[in-house]
Chains A and B, each alone.
Chain A
Amino acid sequence: MPLLAIETTCDETAAAVIARDRTVLSSVVASQELLHARWRGVVPEVASRAHVERIIPVIDEAITRAGITRADLAAVAVAVRPGLVGSLLVGLSAGKAIAAALGIPIVGYDHIAAHLYACRLAHGERMRYPCVGLVASGGHTSLFLVRGPTDLERLGGTIDDAAGEAFDKAASVLGLGYPGGPQIEAAAAGGNPKAHRLPRPLANDRDRMDLSFSGLKTALRYLVRPPGSPADVPAPQGKVLADLAASFQQAAVDSILAKLALAIERTGCRVLAIGGGVTANTLLRESIERLGRELGVDVLIPPRSLCTDNAAMGAIGWERLERGEDDGLELDVLPGTDRSAARRKMA
């Protein structure tokens, strides 16, 4: 009997049905399937009210597509951190109602740990522990020593902007649209990544595994609009734009690569697991794979559908259920940031 997983950690409302052998029977993400395009990063559906409106249809759709009925469910798993209280509570309340009505177990899981568990779904036995894990998305950029599916030690992470956010803000500086990742990647095609010397903050600091992207964003802004220039400087075009985008992209990727190499060196791990939407970036993906070949490390990157926010990665709930764990109706949300979440140990 399968597991129902529910995700409402930020903007996406998602549900998935996963068999015990970790086969994903269905995976539904509302923002991709039901909603209209976004405009420059504004996410009107961010409100928990939108989660409330979508959660039941999304769950029903996941159950229908899996070819089962609610009565077939063995358990419920809900992402309970990190995120906004209001949004998290919508998913938790729906999950509790289903668990209580059916008399089945419910377990909470960590959204960030689940991003890395997507590597287990995509690559099966190649996901060996301990490994180094990187989650890089619009809202999160953190590096972990992953001792087991639910046992993560945070090694470091961004001290300012997340990697995906850095791409979004760079795209805004360059006059490009949202989301910034694909826009920068497209604009960078044909550009010279060495055209501009942009900073790689903290990249050479071997005492810490933290990352910083804020200074890179600001340096890019100075190139486009030097201090003292009028506010209506026209957006860069053509070769100028391509060189700026390529130089930014290279600097962002280099910053991440430096910390991945340091984490592998310090931990001695031979497996590198990557999660989060930023891994859709081709330069980052190819650079990490090259790093893996150079260091003799097995690099695991899930397909795009498992990198962006989804509930299929809630398959991680099976890890706790197989240990006989059940949070019951006492389960509560643990809002906050990556870092505050990392300080709390999931039961």
Chain B
Amino acid sequence: MPSTADGNTPPTRTVTVPDEAALAPLARRLVAVLPPQAFVTLEGDLGAGKTTFVKAVAAAIGIDPSEVVSPTFGLIHVHDVLDDLLPGPHDRPRQNTPERLVHADLYRLLGAGDLAEIGWEDATKGRCWVFVEWPQRAPEALPADRLAITIEIDSETGRTFRFTPRGDFTLAAL
């Protein structure tokens, strides 16, 4: 049940998924409403499915999900979005797609000071979608306008996703 905005509470949208197979349609719905430049944070316990959800997002824009591996060690993975890999006409118009999918994990960082040194600015600027796991490691590095996603473990297969726009980020109905 989606909560409503009352001026103080961010309008969080809550979606429950029964199993991993249900991530694909959820990712397609998100992809359809994300602007071509978007910053998205992912929070959730080890094993909640943060990277698994980014795989589903990647698949929804034509990137081979097996190429989307955990960025815990590599810190920033950049996947080019190639027009000829985009799925068919039933999906979003091509001018609305990002040029890159940037998948980052800040788990190993001590703070934003480290970010400046790993090419963070270059990697995250321009028409791209940035999905960041463990954003709480460097809160000061996050843009004010962003989409915060939290994933809770309900059962061995079930998860609850909460989508909360921050700042001026707006999210059409999922």
Task: Answer yes or no: do A and B interact.
Answer: yes
Binding site for B on A (CB under 8 A): 10, 41-44, 46-50, 82-87, 138-140, 158-162, 164-165, 168-169, 172-173, 210, 214, 217-218, 221-222, 227-228, 336-337, 339-340
**Nearest-Cβ distance from residue A304 to partner chain B, whole angstroms:** 19
A254 to chain B minimum Cβ distance, whole angstroms, is: 20
CB distance from B36 to the nearest CB of A (A): 22
Report B-chain residues with C-beta under 8 Å of the C-beta of A48: 117-118
CB of B86 within 8 Å of the partner chain: no
Contact of A221 among B47, B65, B75, B114 (CB under 8 A): B47
| Residues of chain A within 8 A of B70, CB atoms compared | 160-162, 165, 214
Q: Assess whether B110 is interfacial by the CB under 8 Å rule.
A: yes
A-B CB contacts (within 8 Å), total count: 99
With a cutoff of 8 Å between Cβ atoms, the chain B residues found around residue A138 in the complex are: 73
| Segment touching A, from B5-13, B90-98, B150-158, B162-170 | B150-158
Instruction: List, in ascending order, chain A residues with CB within 8 A of B114's CB.
Output: 44, 46-47
| Closest chain A CB from B75 CB (angstroms) | 6
Report B45 CB to chain A, min CB distance, Å: 7
B22 within 8 A of A: no
Determine how close the nearest CB of chain A comes to the CB of B124; give it in whole angstroms.
Answer: 13
Any chain A CB within 8 A of the CB of B108?
yes
Residues of B close to A158: CB separation below 8 A: 69
Q: Are A42 and B108 in contact (CB under 8 A)?
A: yes
With contacts A214-B52, A337-B77 taken as known, whether A42 is within 8 angstroms of B110 at the C-beta atoms is: yes
Contacts of A86 in B (CB 8 A): 117-119
Whether B51 contacts A214 by the Cβ 8 Å rule is yes
Which residues on the B side are within 8 Å of A84 (C-beta)?
74-76, 118-119
Interchain CB contact under 8 A, B118 and A337: no
Least Cβ distance of B123 to chain A in Å? 8
Given contacts A44-B110, A227-B156, contact A337 B67 (CB under 8 A): yes
Task: Tell me the nearest residue of chain B to A218, going by C-beta.
Answer: B47
User: With contacts A41-B108, A42-B109 known, is A139 near B46, CB below 8 A?
Assistant: no
Which of chain B's residues has its CB closest to A45's CB?
B114
Chain A residue numbers with a CB within 8 Å of B74 are 10, 82-84, 139, 337
- Chain A residues within an 8 Å CB radius of B69: 158-162, 337, 339
Complex formed: what's the CA distance from A42 to B113 in Å?
Answer: 14
Q: Within 8 Å of chain A (Cβ to Cβ): is B84?
A: no
Contact among B45, B52, B122, B158 with A85 in the assembled complex (CB-CB below 8 Å): B122
**When A227-B156, A336-B78, A337-B67 are in contact, do A46 and B109 touch as well, CB less than 8 Å?**
yes
Kindly name the residue among B46, B74, B114, B117 whose own CB sees the greatest number of chain A CB atoms within 10 A: B74
In the complex, chain B residues whose CB is within 8 Å of the CB of A44 = 110, 114
Interface size class of B (residues with CB under 8 A): 35 or more
B72 interfacial contact with A, CB 8 Å? yes
**CB atoms of A46 and B75 under 8 A apart:** yes
**Distance in angstroms between the alpha carbons of A154 and B155 in the assembled complex:** 36
Which residues does chain B contribute within 8 Å of A87, judged by CB atoms? 118
Top 9 A-B pairs, shortest CB-CB distance:
A47-B117, A139-B73, A218-B47, A221-B47, A159-B66, A86-B119, A161-B70, A85-B119, A227-B155
Per-residue CB contact flags for chain B residues 27-60 toward chain A (1 = under 8 Å, else 0) read 0000000000000000001110101100100000
A241 to B65, alpha carbons, bound, how many Å? 34
| Residues of the B chain whose Cβ atoms lie less than 8 Å from the Cβ of A85 | 119, 122
Q: Determine the residue in chain A with the shortest Cβ distance to B157.
A: A227
Further contacts, 15 of them, CB under 8 A, given A46-B109, A47-B113, A214-B52: A42-B109, A46-B118, A86-B119, A87-B118, A140-B73, A160-B69, A165-B70, A173-B46, A214-B47, A221-B45, A221-B47, A227-B154, A227-B155, A336-B78, A339-B69
The B116-153 residues at the A interface (CB cut-off 8 A) are: 116-119, 122, 153
Question: Chain A's nearest CB lies how many Å from the CB of B110?
Answer: 5
Distance from B107 Cβ to chain A, minimum over Cβ atoms (Å):
7
Could you list some 7 contacts between A and B, CB below 8 A? Answer: A42-B109, A46-B108, A158-B69, A160-B55, A217-B46, A227-B158, A339-B67
Are A222 and B156 within 8 A (Cβ)?
yes
* Contact A169 B46, CB 8 Å, known A42-B109, A227-B156, A340-B67: yes
Q: Is A221 touching B118 in the complex (CB atoms < 8 A)? A: no
B107 and chain A: residue at smallest CB distance: A41
Q: Distance in Å from the Cβ of B134 to the closest Cβ of chain A?
A: 11
Cβ 8 A contact of A165, one of B72, B75, B154: B72
Instruction: Return chain A residues, CB-CB under 8 Å to B67.
Output: 337, 339-340
**Max chain B C-beta neighbours (<10 A), residue from A10, A210, A337:** A337
